[in-house]
Structure formats: C-alpha cells, structure tokens
C-alpha cells in the first residue's frame, strides 16, 4: 500500500467533511455552489454582492459576506461556538484580501468577560489573529470590554453613546501602534465599530480602519 493512500483528506471549509481536495481547493463539490451563492448574495438596496455594494452607508467597512445569507450565519455561529483552526484561517485570509491599507497592527472588539468565560475564547480575537497572520502584522489588544449591555432595541446613535461605558482603551498598546485595523465578527448598525474606532482615535490612534466578516443589511430582522 502506498504512503499516499494513508493520508486523510482535507476538511471542506464549509461542511467540514474530510474529502479529497485538489491543491488550492477549499470546498467539496457540494459546498462550492453554496459558497458561490454566499459571495453573490445581493444587497437589497443596490442589488450588488457584498464585494461591490455601492450603498454609501457601507463604504466605511471592509466585509466579506451579507449576514442575511444563511451560510454567513453558519460561519458566525461556528466562530462563536465551535471554531476550527482551518476555518478561521480561511475566513481571516479572505478578509485580509480586502484590507489593503497600511496598518501597524490588527486589533479587535473584545467580547464581554462573562461570555468569554463561557465560550473559552473570543471570536473577534480569533478572526483578528487570522487576518493579522495573512497580512504579516502583530495583533494588539487595545480595548477592554467592561460588561454587556442589551442593545437590541436601541438606535444606532444610542448604541454609539453606550460604547464609552462598555469599552476602555488600553493606552499602553496604542503607543507603538498608531495605524490600526479593527476587526469584529458582525456589524449590524455599525455603532460598536464606529464608537470604538472613535474612542481609539481620541486616545492617540492616527487611523483606524474597520473590518468585519459579515454586515447585516439595513432591514434585516
Ligand atoms: Zn463541503
Ligand atoms: Zn448596496
């Protein structure tokens, strides 16, 4: 028996089944169609996929997928509850391709301490590490989450104001890293990313670019 036949296949980056993938292939044939649909999922306003959305409200953010597509939500749930290295690496590498600015470091929006304890990891931090790895940059923790606030029924501006109470800036980390790429998993109203990036600029960051794996469309419920 040849050595080659003993080697197990690589896991598909969506269904996680071990299959024989050719070099450079990431998905099994069944999942390839699902991924094509995910990338092509249209914006309800301009009709374009996430990569080409022309809506002015979305231009400030680099993001991969529309959260509205069920496959995007599968990825988010796994990142939160059952992350796998190879999947996080795939998502981080894809997101890094969109982040073409000049940054000194990658940072992230931390989850609240109680949730971190329950899950044992911070999904935004995991994603930030994968993005940083792909870009050849360090990861620095610049924000500390003080606690969780139920935001569901609040407007974007109310949420943005609350950011000041929820997050503290770790000034030491900012000293050597002035241009930051701030990573989160999902952006809904954009209030958390906008609020935290403003907070970082107030504490001395020169520039803060925002990136998220998914963005919800305006009328998503
Ligand atoms: Zn698959
Ligand atoms: Zn659009």
Q: Would you tell me which CATH number, out of the four given (3.40.50.2020, 3.20.20.70, 3.40.710.10, 3.40.630.10), belongs to the domain 57-215?
A: 3.40.50.2020
Q: Any idea which of 14-23, 80-89, 150-159 has the lowest mean pLDDT?
A: 150-159
How many angstroms is it from 217 CA to the middle of ligand 2?
A: 8
Give mean pLDDT, residues 51-63: 87
Question: What pLDDT, on the 0 to 100 scale, is given for residue 4?
Answer: 46
Question: What pLDDT, on the 0 to 100 scale, is given for residue 12?
Answer: 92
How many angstroms is it from 44 CA to the middle of ligand 1?
A: 28
How many angstroms is it from 134 CA to the middle of ligand 2?
A: 27
Place of tokens 């609020």: 195
How many angstroms is it from 173 CA to the middle of ligand 2?
A: 35
| Cβ neighbours around 132 below 10 Å, total | 22
Ligand located closest to 42 CA: 2
- Cβ burial 137-159 (10 Å sphere, 16+ → b, else e): bebbebbebeeeeebeeeeeeeb
Q: Is residue 148 helix, strand or coil? A: coil
pLDDT 10s digits, 26-42: 899 899 999 999 999 99
Calpha distance 195→49 (Å, rounded): 26
pLDDT 10s digits, 158-194: 777 788 889 999 999 899 899 999 999 999 888 899 9
pLDDT at residue 1 is higher than 60: no
């Amino acid at each position: 028996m040849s050595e080659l036949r003993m080697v197990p296949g690589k896991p598909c980056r969506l269904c996680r089944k071990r299959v024989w993938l050719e070099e450079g292939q990431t998905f099994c044939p069944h999942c390839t169609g699902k991924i094509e649909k995910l990338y092509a999922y249209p914006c309800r306003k301009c009709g374009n996929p996430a990569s080409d959305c022309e809506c002015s409200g979305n231009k400030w953010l680099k993001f991969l997928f529309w959260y509205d597509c069920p496959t995007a939500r599968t990825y988010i749930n796994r990142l939160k509850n059952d992350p796998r290295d190879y999947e996080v690496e795939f998502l981080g590498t894809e997101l890094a391709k969109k982040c073409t600015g000049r940054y000194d470091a990658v940072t992230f929006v931390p989850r609240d301490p109680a949730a971190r304890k329950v899950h044992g990891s911070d999904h935004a931090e995991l994603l930030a590490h994968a993005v940083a790895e792909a870009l050849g940059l360090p990861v620095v923790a610049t924000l500390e989450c003080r606690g969780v606030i139920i935001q569901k029924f609040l407007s974007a501006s109310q949420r943005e104001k609350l950011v000041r109470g929820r997050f503290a800036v770790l000034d030491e980390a900012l000293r050597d890293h002035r241009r930051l790429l701030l990573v989160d998993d999902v952006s809904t109203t954009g209030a958390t990313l906008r609020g935290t990036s403003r907070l970082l600029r107030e504490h001395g960051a020169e520039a803060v670019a925002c990136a998220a794996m998914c963005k919800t469309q305006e009328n998503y419920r």
